[in-house]
Amino acid sequence: MYDLVIIGSGPAGLSAAIYGVRAGLKLVVIEKDYEGTGQVALSSCVDNYLGLPGMDGYSMGEKFREHAVGFGVEFLEAEVSQIEKSSSIYVINTSDGNKLETKTVLYATGATHRKLGAPGEEKYDTKGVSYCATCDGAFYRKKTAAVIGGGDTALDDALYLSGICEKVYLIHRRDSFRAAEITVRKIKEKENIELVLNSTVTEILGTDKVTSIKVNNKLTGEDSILDVSGVFVAAGSVPSTQAVPSDVNLDPAGYIIADESGITSAPGFFTAGDVRTKALRQVITAVSDGANAVTSITHYLENM
């Protein structure tokens, strides 16, 4: 019987694991196939984490993980298929048939890439369509790529790719960005980044791999074809809540309703990081969520 099962090994889950171990909790972190520490691993540069400016997301995640491993945190590689409650105990079922009993659960699964839903996106996934510039950017050396989105990820990706590709189109559906102003300024200074604003990608075209995209200008209604070898989709994320029990309340966008205490509508079921309702989804807020949630969890366990 565990005191705490943490589902997800991103910054929120690992921070909670460190706080939990230090609080003397018997805990395990369940993670799906390990490919780096959550979404942050895909970021080419995380410039706003206190004390670690300019670090790439993968290396930052590795540092978090080393910290947790050094503190003796137990990891289990598995996919959680269902979470059941039997009196005050949670039973975590994994798709490989494991059942783990625990007094509390911390659901810290983060979020996954939002897809565009454009024809060709699925067909050319990994054949020119990518959701990770740092992972796949090197395949497009001296080629032309398109980045789709107007947030920090899209602009960071465009900057990163501008150092590899001959040309980068940054395609955004509006004419203003939601990324940090400093990043927008850097983008505008890059000669090989062309802004394609008020525009959406309506089709991804190719042969055995991507060769071009069809772009619709929302103001003029005109379609144009841009020749590109790579399409980097950076259209934000959707929360990963597949195994959340039905008595845990979600907001209309599907995020678990909780404030920074991590307390949800279900007693003993806590949440942290990008999967919960919050204004700012950043590494630094995920890390503090993990710590705060463990404070709530220890109070809950003391009063059980």
Q: Beta-strand (E) ranges in the chain?
A: 2-7, 27-31, 74-77, 80-86, 89-94, 99-107, 111-113, 129-130, 144-148, 167-171, 193-196, 199-206, 210-217, 223-227, 230-233, 237-239, 269-271
* Interaction mask 73-112, ligand NAP, x per CB under 6 A: ----------------------------------------
Annotation says 135 is catalytic: yes
Total number of residues that touch ligand NAP (CB under 6 A): 25
Closer CB to ligand NAP, residue 282 or residue 288? 282
Q: Does 156 bind ligand NAP (CB under 6 A)?
A: yes
**Residue 141 gets which letter from DSSP?**
T
Any catalytic annotation for residue 56?
no
Q: List the alpha helices (DSSP H) in the chain.
A: 11-22, 57-70, 133-136, 152-162, 181-189, 283-302
Out of 154, 158, 187, 275, the residue judged to bind ligand NAP by CB under 6 A: 154
Supply the minimum distance, in Å, between the C-beta of residue 26 and ligand NAP: 33
Choices 17-25, 70-78, 161-169, 171-179; region in contact with ligand NAP by CB under 6 A: 171-179
Q: Is 45 a catalytic residue?
A: no
Residues present in the chain in total? 304
Q: Show the binding pattern over residues 207-246: x = contacts ligand NAP (CB under 6 A), - = does not.
A: ---------------------------xxxx---------
Q: Does 22 bind ligand NAP (CB under 6 A)?
A: no
The one catalytic residue among 132, 157, 165, 274: 132
Sequence-distant (6+) residues with CB within 8 A of 45 are 54, 55, 56, 57, 156, 160
CB of 39 to ligand NAP, least distance (A): 8
CB atoms within 10 A of CB 207: 8
For residues 255 and 108, is the Cβ–Cβ distance under 8 A?
Answer: no
Q: Which of residues 30-49 bind ligand NAP (CB under 6 A)?
A: 43, 46-48
Q: CA–CA separation, 239 vs 255, rounded Å?
A: 6
Q: How many CB atoms lie within 10 A of CB 181?
A: 8
CA distance 292 to 261: 6
Type and span of the H or E element at 138: none
**281 touches ligand NAP by CB under 6 A:** yes
120: left (phi over 0), alpha (psi -120 to 50) or beta: left
Please, which residue, 53 or 267, has the CB nearer to ligand NAP? 53
Q: Does 149 bind ligand NAP (CB under 6 A)?
A: yes
Confirm or reject binding of residue 67 to ligand NAP (CB under 6 A).
no
Annotated catalytic sites, by residue?
Answer: 132, 135-136
Which residues contribute to the site for ligand NAP (CB under 6 A)?
43, 46-48, 114, 116, 148-154, 156, 173-174, 178, 200, 234-237, 280-282
